[in-house]
Amino acid sequence: MFGRRNKKESAEAEAASEAEQVDVDDVAADEAEERVRLEPEPRPDGPWDSTEVTSPAEGRVDLGGLFVPGVEGMELRVEVAGDAIVAATVVLRDSAIQLQGFAAPKREGIWGEVREEIATGITQQGGVIDEVEGPLGWELRAQVPVKLPDGTGGFQVVRFVGVDGPRWFLRGVISGQGAVQPQAAGLLEQIFRDTVVVRGEGPMAPRDPIVLKLPEDAQMVAEGGVQQEDQATSRFSGGMGQLARGPEITEVR
């Protein structure tokens, strides 16, 4: 037999339900924070800290803050924000990976937080995000809205990969065929793994870009005029600025 609840019983039940919902929300928030604030995981296959490699320059291009593996037939383009070089892009045939290092807290990884920010920025612009565990760990596979040469709208497929290291974070953006075909991505992924990060001992705020320098034997090649990328878009807070290309110096190996 079912009876009616009186007002007191209804109020108590409603309060209990609300309390339960608050508890669930708190647990979800705590789990999300734990996921974001994880300590850096071991990196048995790289990328490497400069203290972990005996000869970082061996087989790599010295860009100061990054030592990037040299691969036959590659183009190496550096990208500028203001007066500073903040990223390097390795181009192999119809694929590319952009590499950029950032300062990070000593015992706190930031890749989980960065993934959420990138995902939010892309979805707000009408893109599509899929978070998956790939060959380099957790990554974002994104369909980013772009304007096609004929003026119509389309999507570019991009993979955002990242690894937390000791007081640094290395982010890679894979584009072209490497973003859609695993067989084309293999060498780019190995380049990412074999990159050496030189954080330096000086104080840096978390998320500050690790500044790079030109290789001594770099050959200057003008591409697309002298436009400069705004420094604000080089930071990954919104997730989209890193897709823009600034002035480039190309080294063909």
For the cut 60, the answer to whether the pLDDT of residue 55 exceeds it is yes
Rounded CA-CA distance 10/209 in Å is 56
Which residues, listed in sequence order, are joined to residue 129 by a DSSP beta bridge? 142
Residues 25 and 122 in one domain: no
Per-residue buried b or exposed e for 178-202, using 16+ beta carbons within 10 Å of the residue's own CB: bbeeeebbebbbebbbbbbbbbeee
Has residue 43 been placed in a domain?
no
| DSSP alpha helix (H) spans, 37-181 | 111-124
Inside any domain, residue 181: yes
Better pLDDT: 25 or 88 = 88
Residue 194 lies in a domain: yes
130 found inside a domain:
yes
Question: DSSP state, 100?
Answer: E
> Which structure tokens are listed for 83?
């007066």
- Same domain flag for 123 and 18: no
Q: Are residues 93 and 1 in the same domain?
A: no
Residues 146 and 205 in one domain: yes
Residue ranges making up the domain that contains 4? 1-36
- Same domain for 52 and 6, yes or no, is no
What is the pLDDT averaged over residues 41-65?
89
- Note the pLDDT tens digit of each residue in 61-117: 999 999 999 988 899 998 888 888 889 999 999 999 999 999 999 888 999 999 999
The pTM (predicted TM-score) of the whole model is 0.74
Return the higher-pLDDT residue of 196 and 44: 196
Distance CA 184, CA 49 (A): 26
Q: Are 85 and 196 contained in the same domain?
A: yes
Residue 102 placed within a domain:
yes
* 132 shares its domain with 230: yes
- The answer as to whether 121 is a domain residue is yes
The answer on 82 and 14 residing in a single domain is: no
- With cut-offs at 50, 70 and 90, classify the pLDDT of residue 118: very high
Q: In terms of domains, do 53 and 9 share one? A: no
Number of domains in the chain: 2
Residue 41 lies in a domain: no
| pLDDT, position 1 | 47
Q: Identify the pLDDT of residue 218.
A: 66
102 in the same domain as 29: no
- Residue 184 domain-assigned? yes
Taking the CA atoms of 52, 92, 178 and 115 in sequence, report the sign of the dihedral they define: positive
**At 220, which CATH number?**
3.40.1000
Higher per-residue pLDDT: 150 or 28 = 150
Q: For residues 77 and 100, what is the distance between their CA atoms, to the nearest angstrom?
A: 12
Lowest mean pLDDT across 25-34, 81-90, 138-147 = 25-34
Domain shared by 140 and 174, yes or no: yes
